[in-house]
Every structure is written in structure tokens, then in C-alpha cells.
Structure 1
Amino acid sequence: EGAARLDYRYWTVRRPLSPEVVWPEVGLGYGVNNRWYTELFMSYIGPNPAQAKPNTLNWQNDFLLTQGQYSWDVALHTNLVSDQAGQKANALEIGPVLQTDIGRVQINANLIFEQALGADTGRPPQLKFQWQAKYRWHTVFHWGLQGFGELGDWNRWSGANQQSHRWGPVVVGTLPWAAKQRLEYQAAYLGGSVYGSVGDMLSVRLQYVY
């Protein structure tokens, strides 16, 4: 509550016989209260960071609905996506975010429905999922597994050879910085498929909280 965040995210996807694609993202977030977090961030895309161009402007809002009353905490995630590259990629993402603890293991599971806005509004929402299980060894170092996937239309999934499924190891931690300031980091290397073809993904996230 009352804390601001400078947020930097970096994604890469590499497929066999294809050039690498990178997605740097830069944003500013704010904890409005203990149940509402909002962030505005710009997403870029290109063959490398120096040549990445603006792709989408995103307005993310997360609302915590339960907090300790049940075995799972539940939040509502929303993200309004505004196309910046002339690709008619405007969209709304919305879905539940779940979290529970089993001893020192924290488990997260998210279901995200993405509805195109504008010319493609007749297309059914696309269903994505995210999951993570991490062992909280120490504040500065948690380790575990993380995964992402895209299944196609929410009510009629794509064939297995057209879906995306990626998973792999992740490390997470928090480093004290100064009074009421800290640096949060996350890094993961995921292997699997990207819309049916083999692809590896590297993701890095750094957040300066002040």
C-alpha cells in the first residue's frame, strides 16, 4: 500500500532456424491500497533490445478479493492492451489469480481470458494459463518451477500441435536497498512449444520498490 514500483521485464523467444525475438517492457506501478495494484507499461518487440520498437501500451489492474479467509487467496487480474504498431492488437485480458501455501512452498495458478477489441471482436476469447511453484528458502532466494501456455479459443481449444506449453526453472528474490526500498528480481528459462513449434523462452524481471 502506497509503494511505487519501477518495473522492467525482458522476454526472449528462440525457435530452431528462426531469429530470436525479444520483448522488453518498462512500466511504473503503484499500490493504491492493500487490495488494488495498478501499473502502466509499454511493451516493445524486435530482433534485439537496440532495435525493439513500441508494440503495445498496457494498463494492468489487480484486485485482491480474498485475503486469508480461505485456503486459496483469489485476485482478479485485468490488462487493457492498446496497439502501438498498427497491427489492430487492442485487447482486454481478464481472469482469476490464485495463490496458496503448503508449508514453505507457494503455489500460484492463473487463468487469463483475452478478448480482442475492435475489428476482431467476433473472435472468441483466447484462453491462457500461468502457474508457478516455488520454495521460499530465504528472502533473497526462492527457487522452483514456472510455466505458461496458450490453448486457443476458450470454449474450443486448438489442437495439441497448435497450442503453446512452456515450463522450466525459476529463481525469485528480494534484496533490501534502503529504508522502505527494495529490489525484487525474477528469472526463468522455459522450454517447450510456441504455438506448436519448438521454442525456448528466457524471462527476466526487475522491480525497484520505493
Structure 2
Amino acid sequence: MKRLLVLAAMLPLAALAETGYYMVTTYDVEGQASIDYKYWNAHYKNSRNVASPEIGIGYGVTSRWYTEVTAQWVQFNGRQTRATGVEWQNDFLLTQGQYDVDVALHTLVERARRRDNGYYVEFGPVLQTQVWRTQLNFNLFFQREMDNGLQNETELAYQWQVKQRWKPWFAPGLQGFGEVGKWNDWLPSKQQSHRAGPALFGELGRVKYEAAYLFGKNSRRPANSFTMRVQYLF
């Protein structure tokens, strides 16, 4: 257990934040509640594998405001599981179909389980458009760790997605995620993290799912990552 705590402390909050592995999208879900299960893992070469299961409760408060509270855990090599913190996500739709591109504002606050690890904030624009049956997404997020006794910088992360709406229960696509370092002074390209790969999406009754397998760098180290998200809507 002590070794697990030391390893968890070595990982920055930003590396465990869910938006490095799951797309934020713009939808009107007023009055809809959901139980939201997420899971990702990263397989590093010559290093411990890291995974993070998460479970949350989401709700569409209005046609423009979605909110979700999520609890997170971390695992190393599929063994002991340790709670890492709780996050509160709020997304606000700024447009609703009147323009070619829908725009939303994404915000997230994550509180670490250990108070001396401080908390993490994230915010930025969410963009979505559709060309015939193809949905396109691109997001830019500003991220910062705070109140942890360190001198932290505001960093920049991005997400992109291409989804082909073939069938309601099966839609193939691609996803990509990355972190480039300080928002106004990017790291050299070799020190940045970029990962992308094939993704699947679908909806079966009250269940929505998505999954992706990503190749590239995770936390600046080469890794293959698997991500999945399953929502039960009610």
C-alpha cells in the first residue's frame, strides 16, 4: 500500500483528469439523468501499467447546462485500487443549431483525496459540427493545478473526434488527445504528448457506449491506451 501511495503521488492530477481520455461533446439533454461509468488504462513499455476507473452521476439541468459529479480511483498493474479524488464538471451550451458550428463552455474542478495535493481546474471551448452523417469535434482546454505548494503553470490540452453516424447502435470513428505544455510557451515536440486511434460509438435503448484504442504518448511516455465510457440514461 505504501508503494501505491508513493506512485499515485508521483502522478500529477492533470495526468489523471478524465478529459485526457474522454471527449466532451455538446448536446441538449435537459431533464435527463445518467449513471456514467468510465475506464482507461495505459500500457507503458518497461514500466507499470496505470488504470483509472471512474463513476459519476450526470444531469441536464436545462437545455444549455449539463452537470456531473464523478469519483475517481487509480490502479497499478491491475492490483490495489486507491481513491484519488472527486471532480465536478459543468458544461454550458452557448449556441444550439443556429450556426454551422455549435459552441459550448466546458468547466471542471477536481479535488484530490489528499488535501495537500490541492485541486485542479480546467476550462475551454467545445466545438461541434456535422457534415452529412459525419460529426466533427474539436476542443481546447486550459488546465492548472492549484493549492499544492508548487509553482504551477497553466497548460494547454486538446481533443478531436471524427464520428460517422452509420447506425444508432454502431458508429465508427477516430479520436485524438494531447497536451503541449504551457499554454503560451509550448514544450519541444519530443516532450509533448499526443495519442490517437480508432473509436466506436453506439446507443442501445437506455445505454450509450464509446470505446477507443489510442497510440502515442501518455504523460510524455510512449504508451498504448484503452478507454471506454458507458452511460445508463433515465
TM bucket (normalised to shorter chain) is over 0.9
Shift of 1:50: 5.5
Residues 20-35 of structure 1 aligned to structure 2 (within 5 Å): 20-35=49-64
Q: 2:233 is matched with which residue?
A: 209
Which structure: greater strand fraction? 1
2:166 to 137, 146, 160: 137
Which residue pairs with 1:59 in the alignment? 88
| Correspondence 1:95-134 to 2 at 5 A | 95-119=124-148, 122-134=151-163
User: Unaligned regions of 5+ residues in structure 2, if any?
Assistant: 1-29
Whole-angstrom distance in 2 between the partners of 1:77 and 1:49: 31
Give, in whole Å, the separation in 1 of the partners of 2:164 and 2:88.
30
Q: How many residues align?
A: 205
Counterpart selection for 2:223 from 181, 186, 199:
199
Provide the TM-score with structure 2 as the length reference: 0.84
Amino acid at match of 1:95: G
Could you list the runs of 5+ residues in structure 1 that have no partner in the other structure?
Answer: 177-181
Change in Cα spacing, 1:21 to 1:142, as seen in structure 2 (3 Å) is same
CA-atom RMSD in angstroms:
1.5
Verify the 8 A CA contact 2:146 2:152 in the aligned structure 1. no
Distance 1:81 1:4, change over 3 A: same
* Distance in 2, Cα, partners of 1:120 & 1:191: 33
State the distance in 2 between where 1:136 and 1:151 align: 30
Indicate which of 38, 47, 64 corresponds to 1:9: 38
Q: Show the counterpart of 1:45.
A: 74
Deviates most, 193-202 or 67-76: 193-202
The answer on whether the counterparts of 1:163 and 1:194 sit within 8 Å (CA) in structure 2 is: no
- Given the alignment of the two structures, is residue 156 of structure 1 paired with residue 188 of structure 2, yes or no? no
Q: Indicate the structure with greater helix content.
A: 2
- Runs of 4+ in structure 1 deviating by more than 6 angstroms, as ranges, are none
Contact kept? 2:141, 2:157, Cα under 8 Å: yes
Write the distance in 2 (CA, Å) between the matches of 1:196 and 1:135.
30
Q: Which residue is equivalent to 2:13?
A: none
TM-score by length of 1: 0.93
Residue among 208, 215, 219 paired with 1:184:
208
